[in-house]
Chain A
Amino acid sequence: MKEKKDMYILGIESSCDETSASIVKNGTEEIATVISSQIDIHKDYGGVVPEIASRHHVKNITIVLEECLEKAKMTMDDVDAIAITYGPGLIGSLLIGLEAAKTLAFLYKKPLIPVHHIAGHIYANSLIRPFKFPLLALVVSGGHTELIEMTDHYKFQKLGGTLDDAIGECYDKVARVIGLEYPGGPKLDKLAKLGKKTYKLPTPLNDDSYNFSFSGLKSAVINLAHNEEQRGNKLNKEDLAASFQSVAVGSVISKTKKAIQDKNIKYLIVAGGVAANQVLRHEIEKLGEEMNIEVAIPPMKYCTDNATMIAAAGYYAYLDGRTADLTLNSTSSAVLR
């Protein structure tokens, strides 16, 4: 067999409130990653403030890049290509990573690879084990809830997605109603462990499509909390968290199950920040056993935004011939193709 040269890709991610750089070898082996999170800054505002996020990205970008190269014991000359999240995300945030990536591509004459943020989340799994096709990717995060079928590397077919709120967004809003500090999703997950499913909540979009809807469920929780307060009843937060979580996760599982059956899927991967949710992880594993298919859930560190997944996806994007010139621009609402 002809020996293939190893390929080292520098990934850069700045789509929301994390500035991250990472070097990944051949799309599968993490060499070094640095993530600078702004979570403590935005906590005071109850959510990510776009202008503040942009200001921190520009402040941190070269520090993150330098630390990453130092950690990898590499220089820019050792890097073969630069992968960059071009969208979707907060436009002001995306632009910082984009300009940094484009500048490095110019200075070192390296190929520039545009990576869709969701492709990144999906390819976080390739750092764990190789993909098997056809696969189904369930993407669950603060901005996305999608079912994507892949017949080969970088062949994406969106089966369905949320018609309104993303699941993570819904988690954070419900958490706020319960009185949990931003980001409330993970705290809600913890709280739910202590409760029982005593509150009755509507099942969202129980139809034949692969789509999701979470705004009705969110409103139902808000109304329920409001009504209980009006009646002078004390809200059992643990039970409400458990009841909400059961319905939300139940909806995701049922649509995922339908897609697996319809598309004869043998390999399921979960991606995105909500993949860190304990109940969802447990239910997905159960579903895998029930359907007798392989399931991959990335470890916690790859669930939240990071550049490792961007560098990994960048490798396969590069093999698929997806490079860009220096006119590459960011976009807040990129479609995964």
Chain B
Amino acid sequence: MILYIDTSSSYLYTGIVENGKIVVEIKKEYNHELSKTALPEIVSMFEDNAIEPKEINKIIVVNGPGSFTGIRIGITIAKVYAWSLKVPITTITSLEAMAMSSINDMIRVAIIDARREYCYASIIDQKDNFILKPVYIKYEELKEKLKDIGEYKIITNDKEKVPISASKWESYNPDIAEIVAKFKNKKEVNPHAINPNYLKLTEAEESKQSC
């Protein structure tokens, strides 16, 4: 059984997948209460389906980019789980999860708004290869990169904030079974080495660098 955890946005996306099928999943918007509710929600999946923590033999956790605090909550739960019960664990980015949830009929551009004219973005082709790896980028710059790409669709939950045009728009509602299928064989990582993928320095570090 595979446990999937994504707390990188204002939604909690979590599920347990067995033999390619969803056993249970939770997709829930939360209001500043993620630290309180994330674990009880995850626990409810186990309890409601009489699953023991030891029955999980792989964890896939989203390591960002997105809400710094949100990512840390999911990562902490996942790495403590993987470390203490010795469960193989792997990480994926939120942008990959977004792209993989969408049919690969054209080039997919996953975008998360990051305010102040910036976003987190990734471009993935029909064969699931990166054209642009997940990056913190100015909308203007992303626009430049999309110029010669031809037809593409944008997957985002921040449509009203994205100043870019596209042939097709999709909002993101993760297909957890599909994401798990795509990444279940991804190489496992030492739980101690698992860290959020912020893609962005802290403001203190940024201002220190510019000094």
Residues of A within 8 A of B (CB): 44-45, 49, 51-52, 54-55, 58-59, 61-63, 65-66, 76, 92, 95-96, 98-100, 102-104, 106-108, 325-330
Contact = CB atoms under 8 A, between A and B. Distances in A.
A49 B80 contact: no
Nearest first, the 8 closest Cβ-Cβ pairs linking A and B are: A329-B36, A99-B76, A51-B202, A62-B83, A49-B204, A103-B80, A102-B39, A326-B40
28 contacts: A44-B208, A49-B202, A51-B68, A54-B68, A54-B69, A54-B72, A55-B195, A59-B195, A62-B80, A62-B83, A62-B84, A65-B80, A92-B69, A95-B35, A95-B73, A96-B72, A99-B73, A99-B76, A103-B77, A104-B84, A106-B39, A107-B53, A107-B81, A326-B43, A327-B37, A328-B36, A329-B36, A330-B35
Contacts of B77: 99, 102-103
A58 to B, nearest CB: 5
B79 interface: yes
A104 B43 CA distance: 12
A48 B22 CA distance: 43
A66 B192 contact: yes
B203 interface: yes
B88 interface: no
B39 A326 contact: yes
Interface residues of B, number: 32
A70 B40 CA distance: 29
A45 B76 contact: no
Contact of B39 (A49, A55, A76, A103): A103
Nearest to A60: B192
A36 B192 CA distance: 14
A45 B68 contact: no
Given A45-B208, A51-B68, A103-B39, 20 more contacts: A51-B204, A52-B204, A54-B72, A58-B72, A58-B195, A58-B196, A59-B195, A61-B79, A62-B192, A63-B192, A65-B80, A76-B84, A99-B77, A100-B76, A103-B81, A103-B84, A106-B43, A327-B37, A329-B33, A329-B36
Given A54-B72, A61-B79, A65-B80, A106 B208 contact: no
Interface in B144-195: 191-192, 195
- B interface SS class: helix
A97 B26 CA distance: 24
B81 to A, nearest CB: 6
B51 interface: no
Contacts of A61: 76, 79-80
Nearest to A330: B35
Given A51-B202, A58-B72, A92-B69, A107 B84 contact: yes
B205 interface: yes
Contacts of A66: 83, 192
Interface of B: 33, 35-40, 43, 53, 68-69, 72-73, 75-77, 79-81, 83-85, 191-192, 195-196, 198, 202-205, 208
B205 A52 contact: yes
Contacts of B39: 99, 102-103, 106, 326
B204 A95 contact: no
A188 B196 CA distance: 38
B72 A92 contact: yes
Contacts of A330: 35
Contacts of A92: 68-69, 72
B75 A58 contact: yes
A66 B83 CA distance: 9
A92 B85 CA distance: 25
A54 B69 CA distance: 8
A95 B83 contact: no
A141 B76 CA distance: 28
A95 B69 contact: yes
B116 to A, nearest CB: 16
A45 B206 CA distance: 12
Contacts of A76: 84
A65 B80 CA distance: 9
Contacts of A44: 208
A107 B39 CA distance: 11
B114 to A, nearest CB: 15
Contacts of B83: 62, 65-66
Nearest to A47: B204
A59 B81 CA distance: 15
A207 to B, nearest CB: 39
Contacts of B203: 51
A103 to B, nearest CB: 4
Max chain A CB contacts within 10 Å: which of B38, B72, B203? B72
Contacts of B202: 49, 51-52, 55
B18 to A, nearest CB: 19
B73 A62 contact: no
A51 to B, nearest CB: 4
A63 B195 CA distance: 12
A110 B34 CA distance: 22
A100 B36 contact: no
